[in-house]
Amino acid sequence: MTLAQLQRLYGASTASTTLISPSLSLSWYLQPQFAAYVQWRRSGRAPTSSERYGLWRSGIYRCNCIVVGDAGLKAETSNTFDIGVKGSPAPGVRLNGSVFYTQYKNFIGVTRYPRDRYPGMFANAPAHLVTIFKAGNRDKARIYGLELGTRLEHGTWTPALKGLYSSLAFGYSKGESRSSYEGDKYVPLDTVQPAKLIAGIGYDAPGKTWGVNLLGTFARGKQAQSTNRDSYRNTGSGLTESTVEFIRVPGFGRLDLWAYWQITPALRLDAGVQNLANKSHWLYSNARSYDASSAADWRRFQLAAQPGRSFNISLTATF
């Protein structure tokens, strides 16, 4: 497209976005080292220059479609509410926990517009174009859940166990989104991770001259849910439900063993054995979008498995 065509398509004005991200936190101490809190945060993301003014064509003269930005895009925004506790409720105990809720709106997505249904959008476009894919504030979403973490120093209560500690961390969240398309509904967000529990037990020698830690990671299985939002043809009918079924990513339990040796104040040796039991497992974030009806995707899914038992060692010198 020529510069004149681009100016007709986007207009001559220059858009700008001002984002204000306030927050408010109220805390009260239940004990001198242990506090409860309530918090609110507002965040946002301004549209990028490509989302506002980007242009993409597959071929210069032969393509009959175009992907364009929208100079009038609004910023994506979110409001997060947290209620939790943090600190040390008793000697030898560290505790952090919260429940949260986040509301998102004006998520930016790309919508298909055919010329025969939206002729007004093609008034300033070249005559050979029949489809415009345009960025827009299309989706909204919400995510909520809880997080909990604690560490216990066992030597606080039993001097003979000084240096022995245990830790526990748990996270659970659920999210869902919907678009502005007619007929759409809230569908679980595929990017939200499944529940995970991490538990560990370890020992640090006096002066932390050496130490060892056994860590167990346990993740729940999850199956992502597909939508037709990104393939919606926008020809007048409502959005239909997707018939694609993704492969369910199974849950797993994995053990990792770590050790360190502080050889000198400036020299430290670290070594570890990951996936101690040599169990096959998959990370949901890496394997959530494989089609269960596709033999090729099943092969790709198998290739996406995490490594079996592995070893690593490193030597760090501090100057």
Query: Percentage of residues in the chain with pLDDT exceeding 90?
Result: 81
pLDDT of residue 60 exceeding 60: no
Residue 249, token pair as written in the block: 């990513």
pLDDT at 123: 84
- Write out the CATH class of domain 24-45+73-107+137-317: mainly beta
pLDDT of residue 5 exceeding 70: no
The one-letter code for the residue type at 217 is: T
pLDDT digits (tens, 9 = 90+) for 21-47: 999 999 999 999 999 999 999 999 999
User: Facing residues of 86 across strands?
Assistant: 35, 96
pLDDT at 59: 55
The structure tokens 């998102």 sit at 104
User: Facing residues of 38 across strands?
Assistant: 26, 83
pLDDT at 54: 82
pLDDT digits (tens, 9 = 90+) for 87-128: 999 999 999 999 999 999 999 999 999 999 999 888 877 788
pLDDT digits (tens, 9 = 90+) for 63-73: 688 888 888 89
The one-letter code for the residue type at 176 is: E
Please tell me what DSSP assigns to residue 275.
S
**CA 83/CA 129 separation, integer angstroms:** 52
What are the residue boundaries of the structural domains of the chain, listed by start?
Answer: 24-45+73-107+137-317
Strands 164-179 and 187-188: antiparallel
Q: At 13, is the pLDDT very low, low, confident or very high (cuts 50, 70, 90)?
A: low
**Which residues, other chains included, contact 81 with Cβ-Cβ below 8 Å and sequence gap of 6+?**
38, 39, 40, 100, 101, 102
What is the rounded average pLDDT of the residues 12-23? 78
pLDDT of residue 280 exceeding 90: yes
pLDDT digits (tens, 9 = 90+) for 224-274: 999 999 999 999 899 999 999 999 999 999 999 999 999 999 999 999 999
Question: In angstroms, what is the C-alpha Rg of the chain?
Answer: 26
What is the rounded average pLDDT of the residues 136-164? 97
Distances 139 to 74, 105, 164, 178, 184 between C-alpha atoms, Å: 12, 7, 49, 6, 10
Please tell me what DSSP assigns to residue 5.
H
pLDDT at 8: 65
Query: Percentage of residues in the chain with pLDDT exceeding 70?
Result: 93
Please tell me what DSSP assigns to residue 195.
P
Instruction: Mark 59-76 as b/e (b = at least 16 C-beta within 10 Å).
Output: eeeeeebbbbbbbebebb
What is the rounded average pLDDT of the residues 73-84? 96
Residues in the chain: 319
pLDDT at 217: 98
